[in-house]
Amino acid sequence: MSATLSSVPEVGDPVAAIDTPALVIDLDAMERNLAAMAAFARERGVRLRPHAKMHKCAAIARLQRAAGAVGVCVQKTSEAEALAAAGIDDIYISNEVVDPAKLARVAALARRVRLAIAVDSAEGIERLARAMREAGAAIDVFVEVDVGHGRCGAPATAASSLAHRVVAHAPPEGGLRFAGLQAYHGAAQHLRGAEERAAASRHAASLASAARAGITAAGIACPLVTGAGTGTFAFDVASGVWGELQAGSYLFMDRDYADNAPGPNTPRFEHALFVKSQVMSRGAAHAVVDAGHKSHAIDSGLPQVWQRTLAYANGGDEHGILRPLPGGSAADLPQLGDTVWLVPGHCDPTVNLHERYVALRGGLAAGVVEAVWPIEARGCVG
Ligand SMILES: Cc1ncc(COP(=O)(O)O)c(C=O)c1O
């Protein structure tokens, strides 16, 4: 059992000993999700490079690699640095970096691990090339195409001129290896209807495929189209355009993703990430738990109260207010000191609030702590 002075659980502790609020992984559920996605990618003949911006944890990245992932994605230079420092050696920053000081860090990292990055402008490519030249480093480069989100990414029609510019800095003189296209439609992931997501994926596929055709017509080989998230990966794979999947949230499956209508021929993923909370106050018609939005992100809505007929209402930074769902009664409310499990609305920013995962084996009711994992890339916003 844990020393009484410490709130960090130890391996072998029973679930009851986990201090609250705590970020808890149901390991059995997570492993089923891990295996389902790995099998899906293997059977469809596509590579899996899960997004580690979701879990931010080297131990989990290692489990994904062991299950067949070729490496991981991150969005931020500091996330890449944190995971590399923890031993992850194949990382794709699936995002643009243009600041010279950050690019110097990217170049330094590229000397230590296999590194890739996305670009979407001529100026960005020149800055990246300069940083690589100064450091004597080489990096894989994906040209990002805007496939529908209207965020980063060049128009599909500009992809071949950008690819040309990358190739102009190819080794041995330069440090840029053209690796293909980044094509991720973030806004499509949470469209609720399966047909809506299918249509968005078809649109993304047509733009990615036009960009690839432009590049090959210019005489440049386009080795890979990479992208896709938990909401669209099955549609994306069916198009035959993507050769690598970047889905991340499938591993934990937050409440927001569970609100999507499931698509056909898509593995079903289970909730595997929970905030363990405790009832700290009781009223006649409500209960208050010790987990507010200091413990879970609410950008994608409030948490679901797991396996109880209760609704969670925002009680501020440190409190959540539980009330019976319509048709329920005060008899459904938990008592002072009772444990309440919450399914976060959005896993990525929830993870960012915590220092560690408590990995539980044997279920939430009577499981035992099997591991405690640091969240190395937590807080890595730059
Ligand atoms: C570029 C990129 N690829 C992949 C993903 C993974 O998406 P998800 O966690 O929704 O599966 C994200 C998530 O935001 C992303 O930004």
**What is d(CA 196, CA 178) in angstroms, rounded to the nearest whole number?**
33
**What is d(CA 310, CA 330) in angstroms, rounded to the nearest whole number?**
10
Q: Which class in CATH covers the domain with range 15-24+269-374?
A: mainly beta
pTM of the model: 0.96
Which ligand 1 atom is the nearest neighbour of the CA of 95?
A: 1
- Domain locations in the chain as residue ranges: 15-24+269-374, 27-258
**What is d(CA 116, CA 95) in angstroms, rounded to the nearest whole number?**
10
Ligand 1 centroid, distance to 186 Cα (angstroms): 7
Ligand 1 centroid, distance to 288 Cα (angstroms): 33
Nearest residue to 92 (alpha-carbon basis) of 117, 109, 124? 117
Q: From first to last of its 382 residues, what are the pLDDT tens digits of the chain?
A: 444 445 899 999 999 999 999 999 999 999 999 999 999 999 999 999 999 999 999 999 999 999 999 999 999 999 999 999 999 999 999 999 999 999 999 999 999 999 999 999 999 999 999 999 999 999 999 999 999 999 999 999 999 999 999 999 999 999 999 999 999 999 999 999 999 999 999 999 999 999 999 999 999 999 999 999 999 999 999 999 999 999 999 999 999 999 999 999 899 999 999 999 999 999 999 999 999 999 999 999 999 999 999 999 999 999 999 999 999 999 999 999 999 999 999 999 999 999 999 999 999 999 999 999 999 999 999 9
**What is d(CA 320, CA 280) in angstroms, rounded to the nearest whole number?**
10
Between the two ends of the chain, the Cα-to-Cα distance in Å is 38
Q: Which class in CATH covers the domain with range 27-258?
A: alpha beta
Look at residue 344 and give its three-state secondary structure. coil
Ligand 1 centroid, distance to 22 Cα (angstroms): 24
According to the model, what pLDDT value does residue 6 have? Answer: 54
Q: How does DSSP assign 277-310, residue by residue? A: EEEEEE-SS-EEES--TTTS--TT-PPEETTSSE
Ligand 1 centroid, distance to 182 Cα (angstroms): 12
**204, 185 Cβ separation under 8 angstroms:** yes
Q: How does DSSP assign 176-194, residue by residue? A: EEEEEEEE--GGGTT-SSH
> What is the number of other CB atoms lying within 10 angstroms of the CB of residue 195?
11
Residue 320 φ then ψ, to 5°: -125, 140
Q: CB burial class (10 A; 0-12, 13-18, 19+) of residue 301?
A: middle
* Pocket residue to mutate for ligand 1, from 46, 51, 60, 190, most atoms within 8 A of Cβ: 51
Please list, in sequence order, all residues whose beta carbon lies within 8 angstroms of the beta carbon of residue 288, skipping any fewer than 6 positions away.
Answer: 279, 280, 281, 282, 315, 319, 320, 321, 322
**What is d(CA 166, CA 84) in angstroms, rounded to the nearest whole number?**
25
Ligand 1 centroid, distance to 281 Cα (angstroms): 38
Residues with CB under 6 A from ligand 1: 51, 54, 73, 75, 94, 184, 186, 189, 229-230, 246-249
Ligand 1 centroid, distance to 282 Cα (angstroms): 39
Among protein residues, the one with the nearest Cα to ligand 1's atom 2 is 184
Among protein residues, the one with the nearest Cα to ligand 1's atom 14 is 186
According to the model, what pLDDT value does residue 3 have? Answer: 40
